[in-house]
A and B are shown apart, each in its own frame.
Chain A
């Protein structure tokens, strides 16, 4: 019961934070510098790890698909499998998981530190809402950066699959055949679908991490606990939301 109560409390807190931040949406142009800084942190610095992860997700997908499809002579369809999997599911989900691990944890740690060291309280005392200068720029930045990260993740993943298709002898199909199948079965709407999912996941991850960071209580030891909790809750939410968003977008 206590657990359920804490979950409901957490949901309520997140929703409140969302509305508080949304109410300051008009102040975003005046926070351009903060917005750019968050874009840099969320998008630019996350790009290398997203690219590396996506490349190897693509290669593993092609490798496993080649192994599985060889049994019934459908290796020419590897391109379609990698293309659709990356665009619709693995691109958005793995990028969001990375975002939770890299950006979400950083947000939670930063805000938890500010809370623990009473910087948030100081801002409140100066009538500067945390939701306005700490949460809103991050939410706006993640909404702008996620599509960019997703399209890069997709393209790098597709390319990784083509490398395996070309150079691994057990797969052994030409890049032309791989990309022909990919183009034939993967539509632009699938890419858009993946971007929509990534927007939801990224927005929720940043919102939840901000909320957990801002609600940290106690001493410095709580900062680590808040980070752990933020990442775990983010991952769970990504996976749970994945089902429902996929179902809605179908």
Chain B
């Protein structure tokens, strides 16, 4: 092989190598030689769990950066996040540590926040939310399983009993059904008979269910109730009008209720009536004496007797003399 051929082959080989390095670079690094400028955000947690440097930061599931470093800051742990500055992270967005798989992978999940919220500045602290990790979940599930087991045991005891108190619910139910089977049968037979009667249209309930006439009557009754309700509504409207008139002082009743002068007159009239009745009761005045004095009654009785006798005397004298006799007898 001459020197030219050898040189050509080595050159070709070298160029192939360079081309493959370029292809590998493009494939694995998306053509980025230097790290792009990025925003740094601080996320503080009580426990970073298994989060480590290089883990992904995802906004709504899309990778937007990586965890630059993890560190302790006082009594909390901080993850320093490097995120793409072209993607704004809302100031009210929340970061949480999420498991990416059962074999221990974690990433920081950031939600979108509210629309229109201002973006976080470089170096700002993002709000965080503690989420339970696999160990906590397993512990909780273990506790839940224990409680479930206890509940099932208790339920089982309730159902089956402990053997000391005459058995559980199932035994008691079984006993109840066995002892009362005759009654239950009779009740069922009665129920069957009742439903048969209802089905045949016998009895009130049967007719109610099966008779169309009852349905019509029921409809008519409802119509009457509607008409009555309409009348009642009119009555109430009239009463309302009347009340309005009374309230406005119109008409005799309004005057009686709301006119002060009329009230004073009535009060004065009642006072007069009371004064008159008091006098009557005390026997004062003509009417009082007429009511209370027996002597007037006795005189009237004597007079009536005299008139009676006179009339007896006149029965034969004729009407003309009768007048004169009456006058003489009276005066």
Contact = CB atoms under 8 A, between A and B. Distances in A.
Interface of A: 33, 36-37, 39-40, 43-44, 47, 72, 74, 144-145, 147-149, 151-152, 154-155, 183, 186-191
A44 B28 contact: no
Given A37-B6, A187-B29, A151 B13 contact: no
B105 to A, nearest CB: 10
Interface string B7-37: 1011001101110110111011100000000
Given A44-B9, A187-B28, A151 B3 contact: no
A149 B18 CA distance: 10
Interface centre among A37, A151, A190 (most CB of B within 10 A): A151
Contacts of A47: 13
B103 interface: yes
Nearest to A156: B20
B29 A74 contact: no
Contacts, number: 65
Interface of B: 3, 6-7, 9-10, 13-14, 16-18, 20-21, 23-25, 27-29, 101-103
Contacts of A145: 13-14, 17
B47 to A, nearest CB: 25
Contact residues of B: prevailing secondary structure: helix
A37 B9 CA distance: 10
Contacts of B102: 72
Contacts of A33: 3
A189 B28 CA distance: 9
Contacts of B29: 187-189
Contacts of A44: 9-10, 13
A151 B17 contact: yes
A148 B28 contact: no
B10 A151 contact: no
A186 B103 contact: no
A148 B3 contact: no
Contacts of B103: 72, 74
A147 B28 contact: no
Given A36-B3, A154-B24, 15 more contacts: A37-B3, A37-B6, A39-B14, A40-B9, A43-B13, A44-B10, A72-B103, A74-B101, A144-B14, A147-B21, A151-B24, A155-B24, A183-B27, A188-B25, A188-B29
A186 B21 contact: no
Contacts of A187: 28-29
A191 B24 contact: yes
Contact of B7 (A36, A152, A183): A36
A183 B20 CA distance: 15
Contacts of B10: 36, 39-40, 43-44
Contacts of A72: 102-103
7 contacts: A39-B13, A40-B6, A72-B103, A149-B17, A151-B17, A152-B17, A183-B27
Nearest to B11: A36
Given A148-B16, A148-B17, A151-B21, A183 B9 contact: no
In the complex, the 6 A-B pairs of residues with the closest C-beta atoms, listed nearest first? A148-B17, A188-B29, A188-B28, A39-B10, A151-B20, A44-B13
